[in-house]
């Protein structure tokens, strides 16, 4: 049975994931715009208005289910449309558009970490660690602020490094294609056909067998960077 505090934490995590995912998608569209493709702009998707980006399942239902189940939590917004044929330099610009999403998440993580460390410094300076302010669901206002900021850093790092995995529809697949040619590229396209089964196996099946390469990957990159950012 979940307590009100646990429910509040799940809602907070899902809401912050949604913010991070929306900015991620807008970043794709904005860089495409800078590179000559106005498809996203013409579709009215270069906006932070959630109504333009919400995917009922990917933005709300999926992250809630994953949060309740525990462990890795993922969310996605509606992909921002773009037309690679309108890019000024398609080969180069496709990579830039793909990297824009993870880069936006890394930037959000840095901003969140700066705010967290600033708030933490205020708490330490006050010599009233966690014991002042209104109490909401068992936590003070400052505790909720620190929780929100640290969670925002974490979800952005998770989104950044998860999206860099070189399997479609994730952004890392576009980066890999840039460096492959000829037979190597052909073989990679063949592997891409099995991308979704591979992702499902890595996300859900292998961990049940005690094998968790995704968890190890995210712990190494997102986890270590999280510790570094919140300890700076």
For the chain, helix (H) and strand (E) counts, in that order, are 11, 2
Establish whether 190 is a catalytic residue. no
User: How far from chain centre, in Å, is Cα 192?
Assistant: 22
Q: Is 136 helix (H, G, I), strand (E, B) or coil?
A: strand
Residues 167 and 198 sit within 8 Å (Cβ to Cβ): yes
Cα 187 from Cα 183, distance rounded (Å): 6
Q: Is 173 helix (H, G, I), strand (E, B) or coil?
A: helix
Token pair for 50? 């959630």
DSSP-derived pairing of the beta strands 135-136 and 139-140:
antiparallel
CA of 134: how far to CAs of 3, 144, 219, in Å? 19, 10, 34
Residues 8 and 147 sit within 8 Å (Cβ to Cβ): no
Residue of 5, 25, 42, 190 with catalytic role: 25
Q: Residues 6 or more apart from 117 whose CB is under 8 A from it?
A: 230, 232
Catalytically annotated residues = 25
């Amino acid at each position: 049975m979940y307590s009100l505090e646990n429910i509040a934490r799940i809602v907070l995590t899902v809401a912050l994931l949604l913010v991070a995912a929306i900015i991620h998608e807008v970043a794709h569209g904005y860089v495409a715009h800078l590179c000559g493709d106005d498809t996203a702009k013409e579709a009215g998707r270069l906006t932070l208005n959630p109504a333009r980006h919400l995917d009922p399942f990917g933005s709300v239902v999926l992250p809630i289910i994953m949060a309740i189940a525990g462990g890795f939590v993922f969310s996605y917004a509606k992909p921002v449309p773009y037309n690679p044929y309108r890019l000024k330099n398609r080969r180069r610009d496709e990579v830039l558009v793909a990297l824009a999403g993870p880069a936006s998440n890394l930037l959000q993580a840095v901003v969140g970490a700066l705010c967290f460390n600033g708030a933490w410094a205020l708490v330490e300076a006050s010599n009233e660690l966690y014991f002042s302010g209104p109490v909401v669901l068992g936590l003070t206002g400052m505790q909720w602020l620190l929780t929100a900021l640290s969670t925002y850093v974490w979800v952005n790092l998770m989104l950044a490094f998860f999206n860099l995995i070189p399997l479609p529809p994730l952004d890392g697949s576009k980066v890999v294609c840039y460096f492959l040619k000829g037979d190597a590229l052909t073989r990679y396209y063949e592997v891409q056909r099995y991308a979704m089964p591979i992702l499902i196996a890595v996300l859900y099946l292998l961990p049940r067998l005690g094998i968790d390469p995704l968890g190890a990957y995210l712990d190494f990159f997102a986890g270590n960077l999280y510790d570094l950012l919140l300890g700076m």
